[in-house]
Amino acid sequence: MFDVLRQSLNTGVVTTTYPAASPEVSNRARGRPEIDWAQWKDARPAAAVCPTGAIAFADEGTRRTASLDLGQCVFCGLCADVDPAIRMTNECELAARGRSRLIASAHYKLQNDGTHEKLLDEPTLGGAGTTNSAMQAAGQELQARLDAVLGRSLHIREVDAGSCNGCEIEIVGLNSPVYDIERFGIHFVASPRHADMLLVTGPVTRNMELALRKTYDAMPAPRLVVAVGACGCSGGIFGRNYATCGGVDEVIPVDVYVPGCPPNPHALLHGILLAVGRIGEKR
């Protein structure tokens, strides 16, 4: 016992200071793909190798709309391998309050061979600036209720709706001494009746659809839902088919989306704290 105490004292504090400091992520970790939109000469090669359709384009005459959907991206890096205008970063703070906010798009004028002649406008983030006053009022009302009811405490019920367990491994890491989610007053609970937030992973399988609905209905209001990973955001590599419903928002309302495959614990912390208004949304 004394050896354990001695070792603990010698080790010191290992808990990350995030979010007060930037996330401590390895330079070799894969995060958000970064596109040099002005120098992007052709969207077709990257779109052709993307396994989930996260990079896509649509042509109309001599005009092309090209887009990057982080909600579908699995950070595989195949696009960066075939296109010098794309590079993989280790940026992980990607959570967003709306599905459309994960989609960036730009318009190009095309040459005869289908390559980009020039960028017509600056890339835009889907949904940015389009939120109407009713949605803003509803969001403010929800935040006020959360502040009044939850204060500085939050209880989470995690539901695996059909994941590969990659996200679960990262979620388990939140309770480790390194990330220590309980320092925020956040705890995981076994019953949805005790939960304020539902953390959902995986594409929702047909067999889990009813269970997820019942879990959501069992939660007391006000309740929050966070969709975790590419599968939770959009269905990921599985999409929508005979076995899966697709993303979590196909079954229950989602408040925050956390992209990644899987998102690391820093990304999960960012999404959870964003949902309860204790951290700012990254742009």
Query: Exposure pattern of 228-247 as b/e (b: 16+ CB <10 Å)?
Result: bbbbbbbbbebeeeeebbbb
In the chain, domain spans: 33-125, 133-275
Burial class (CB in 10 A: 0-12, 13-18, 19+), 263: buried
Question: Model confidence at 127, in pLDDT bands (50, 70, 90)?
Answer: very low
- Average pLDDT, whole number, for the chain? 89
pTM of the model: 0.88
- 210 pLDDT more than 80: yes
CA distance 71 to 234: 6
pLDDT of 277 reads 80
- Is the four-CA dihedral 260, 265, 267, 271 of positive or negative sign? positive
Residue 243 tokens, joined: 């076995």
CATH 3.40.50.12280 fits 133-275, yes or no: yes
pLDDT of 135 reads 44
- 281 pLDDT more than 80: no
Determine how β-strand 124-125 pairs with β-strand 154-160: unpaired
- For residue range 130-174, list pLDDT tens digits in order: 444 544 554 455 455 556 555 568 999 999 999 999 999 999 999
- Is the four-CA dihedral 78, 80, 84, 86 of positive or negative sign? positive
CA distance 215 to 158: 10
- Is the four-CA dihedral 167, 173, 175, 181 of positive or negative sign? negative
CA distance 34 to 90: 10
Residue 107 tokens, joined: 């318009």
Q: 192 versus 137: which is more confidently predicted?
A: 192
